[in-house]
Structure 1
């Protein structure tokens, strides 16, 4: 599998052991996790990190994760992940987290489109899905700019910080 993907402004590198500090800083940060779930303990983060370092295939139950970096500076931008959700049609769920310093630069959209193209051509994914909370307007814009369409909004579907939130379900067919 390609270890790196390249776009005009970004380099995406498959998750590596050297990415531990970035992953720990993302998943333990309440501000970055506010629309995803509770900030995680170091033990939870380590457990997930170790799973995602394992080799990945269409049959894997863990996420295939890339670290997003600015091509020009090598600065850490965030992460992008895919996970197989269905075999017929072959469907992947996408997820991403962008660090504060790089929000609003269009990097999430650029990385998402890059990963969709790679996953469709390399693995044969036909459909991509994503879920985000209705109140997370920035993520909704990213998904829509990447070509995804809103399929449905499910009221009070996920609990985040002790509050039930509405989830938006998006999809894109390739």
Structure 2
């Protein structure tokens, strides 16, 4: 499995033990979790982290996660993950979290594009899905810029801070891939 995936502005590095502090700081941060879910306890974060650093194959049920780094500064930008959702139909879910200081720079869109390219070329996925809360307009814009289509809005689907929110279900199928392999249309 590729340890690093490169683009003009980003390096994605497979999650490793040394990334514990970053992962802990993300999943325990109320501002970053505001549109994703409940802030996790230290114990929950540790369990999730241990799963995500375990060996991964397309048959795995846990997320395959990379840390997103900005090439110009080598700073951590956030994380991006994929998870097999339907092996028979070669469908993967894409998820991402971008640190506040790096939002609005196009890094999430760029990371999604290169992860999808990697997942198609290396893992053979044919379809990608993503879920975000209806009120998280930034994530919705990112998914649409990455070429994904809004399929459905499911009312009162996910609980965040004791409140049920609507989920937006996005998808991208192989016939609609945006990837420009010559220019790496990122």
Which of the five TM-score ranges fits, normalised by the shorter chain? over 0.9
Aligned-pair CA distance for 1:88: 2.6
Partners of 1:69 and 1:173 in 2: CA distance: 27
| Pairs within 5 Å for 1:1-174 | 1-174=1-174
Partners of 2:42 and 2:132 in 1: CA distance: 24
Aligned-pair CA distance for 1:89: 1.6
> Which runs of 5 or more structure 2 residues have no equivalent in the other structure?
175-186
Alignment TM-score, normalising by the size of structure 1: 0.99
SS in 1 for 2:47: helix
> Which runs of 5 or more structure 1 residues have no equivalent in the other structure?
none
Runs of 4+ in 1 over 6 A off after TM superposition: none
Size of the alignment, in residue pairs?
Answer: 174
Alignment TM-score, normalising by the size of structure 2: 0.93
Partners of 1:143 and 1:66 in 2: CA distance: 18
Contact kept, 8 Å, 2:59 with 2:87, in 1: the verdict is no
Aligned-pair CA distance for 1:98: 0.3
SS in 2 for 1:69: strand
Cα RMSD over matched residues?
0.5
